[in-house]
Structures are given as structure tokens and as C-alpha cells.
């Protein structure tokens, strides 16, 4: 059962691509932890870095997640046509940026595990207001209705393999902040108005 028509879904996908770019930039600027400060509103957010199945380039996607029995799960809400999901099926080696660390992992499709619906419900709850904005109330929907509207969703489990450090991860653009601060300070000190006051 579709909650919205194909045209609306396409618009949502385009909007989410723009939101994704902004959120990934925030992570790269070292602000990923800030995105997770109010999970009831903004959700619990991590970034998955994956390899394009055609381009072989690195791609970044922010997703909501849930930790269940020590394992990390996320979902591809647009189902099997979701680009990042298809990339991960092709190459399950991923990087994960979380508020408390950065690591390599192996992703696997867990769409058919026994407690799928419970995990999906928790991920949707962990999306903050996002699920409600698309018409899903994960706290109050019956199991039957939730199963129906998430039938095409794909569930992924990510297993941590190694901790990461060094360049290329979250915060790799944090150097922008001191430079930006110096620029603003220079503008304030050497602006024409400041010079006239002297």
C-alpha cells in the first residue's frame, strides 16, 4: 500500500537528496554530534559511506538508525530501487559515521529476519518527526498496518569490523571554522566603519 503517488514520491526523493547533501556537509564540518542532540525531533542520524556500483566513487548518505541487541540497523524507505541500497548490495563494505565514532563495517540485507517489524518500528521512532511528516505514526500504528505500508522497505544490518581514524572521515572539513573565524575577525577589525572610528 503506497502512502503517496509516484509524482509525490519523486519530489520527496529530490528533497531528501538536497537534505542529505546539507547533513553530510554538517558531518564533514565536525557538527555530526549536533545533529543528534535532540533525537525526539531530529532523529538519530548516522552517515553510511558506500561505493557506487557503476561509478566506483564514494557516496555518502545520512540515515536514521536503531541499535538492537548491540547491532546497528537502518532502512531504505524507498525499497529495492534505493540507489544507496543497491550500491551496498553490490559492495557491502561500508564506512559508518556515528556520533560516537567512525568505523568500517559490512552491511547485509536483513529484510527477512523474524523481528523485522519491531526493528523497523524502532528505526521509524528514531527518525524523530520525519516519519510523522510522511504520514507514519510508528508509535501508534498496528503491526498489521505498519507491515503493509513498509512492505517494500529494506532493512540493513551493519557489523563493525574496524575502527577508523585519520583523514577523510567525519570532521575532515573542520579546518574551515578557524579560517572562517579569522576572516570574520579581519573583516571586523579592518572594515571602513572600524577605521573611521579611529
| Mean pLDDT across 81-95 | 96
Instruction: Supply the pLDDT for residue 130.
Output: 83
Evaluated on CA atoms 32, 104, 84, 69, the torsion sign reads negative
Please give the helix or strand (H or E) that residue 75 lies within, else none. Answer: strand 71-76
% the chain with pLDDT above 70: 89
How does pLDDT run across 114-168, given as a tens digit for each residue?
Answer: 999 999 999 999 998 888 887 888 999 999 999 999 999 999 999 999 998 888 8
The chain-wide mean pLDDT, for the chain, equals 86
Most confident of 21-35, 114-128, 130-144, 181-195: 114-128
Q: Which three cell numbers stand for residue 116?
A: 523485522
In terms of pLDDT, which residue wins out, 107 or 130? 107
**Least confident range of 5-14, 19-28, 39-48:** 5-14
Question: Comparing C-alpha atoms, which of 57, 1, 61, 66 is closest to residue 27?
Answer: 61
**Residue of higher predicted confidence among 20 and 88:** 88
What's residue 139's pLDDT?
A: 92
Q: Which three cell numbers stand for residue 70?
A: 548491540
What confidence score (pLDDT) does residue 168 get?
A: 80
Region 96-113: what's the mean pLDDT? Answer: 94
| Model pLDDT, residue 2 | 53
Rounded to an integer, what distance in angstroms lies between the CA atom of residue 120 and that of residue 143? 11
Q: What was the pLDDT predicted at 114?
A: 92
Question: Which residues contact residue 179 at a Cβ distance below 8 angstroms, ignoring those fewer than 6 apart?
Answer: none
pLDDT band at 28 (very low <50, low <70, confident <90, very high): confident
Residue 197 scores a pLDDT above 70: no
Percent of the chain residues past pLDDT 90, beyond the cut: 52
Q: How far apart are CA 179 and CA 169, in angstroms?
A: 20
DSSP characters over 5-72: -HHHHHHHHHHHHHHHHHHHHHHHTT-HHHHTS-HHHH--EEEEEEE-TTT--EEEEEEEEEEETTEE
Residue 78 contacts residue 9 (beta carbons within 8 Å): yes
Query: What topology is assigned to 6-171 in CATH?
Result: Pnp Oxidase; Chain A (2.30.110)
**What's the pLDDT score for residue 193?**
64
Domain boundaries, the chain: 6-171
Amino acid at each position: 500500500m503506497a502512502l503517496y503517488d509516484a509524482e509525490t514520491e519523486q519530489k520527496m526523493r529530490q528533497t531528501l537528496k538536497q537534505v542529505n547533501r546539507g547533513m553530510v556537509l554538517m558531518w564533514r564540518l565536525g557538527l555530526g554530534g549536533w545533529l543528534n542532540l535532540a533525537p525526539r525531533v531530529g532523529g538519530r542520524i548516522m552517515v553510511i559511506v558506500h561505493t557506487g556500483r557503476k561509478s566506483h566513487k564514494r557516496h555518502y548518505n545520512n540515515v536514521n538508525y536503531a541499535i538492537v541487541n548491540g547491532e546497528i540497523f537502518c532502512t531504505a524507505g524507498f525499497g529495492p530501487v534505493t540507489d544507496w541500497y543497491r550500491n551496498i548490495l553490490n559492495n557491502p563494505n561500508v564506512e559508518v559515521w556515528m556520533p560516537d565514532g567512525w568505523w568500517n563495517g559490512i552491511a547485509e540485507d536483513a529484510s527477512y529476519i523474524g523481528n523485522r517489524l519491531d526493528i523497523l518500528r524502532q528505526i521509524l521512532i528514531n527518525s524523530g518527526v520525519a516519519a510523522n511528516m510522511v504520514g507514519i505514526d510508528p508509535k501508534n500504528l498496528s503491526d498489521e498496518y505498519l507491515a503493509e505500508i513498509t512492505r517494500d522497505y529494506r532493512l540493513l544490518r551493519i557489523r563493525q569490523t574496524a575502527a577508523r581514524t585519520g583523514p577523510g572521515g567525519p570532521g575532515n572539513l573542520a579546518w574551515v571554522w578557524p579560517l572562517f573565524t579569522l576572516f570574520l575577525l579581519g573583516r571586523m577589525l579592518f572594515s571602513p566603519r572600524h577605521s573611521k572610528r579611529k
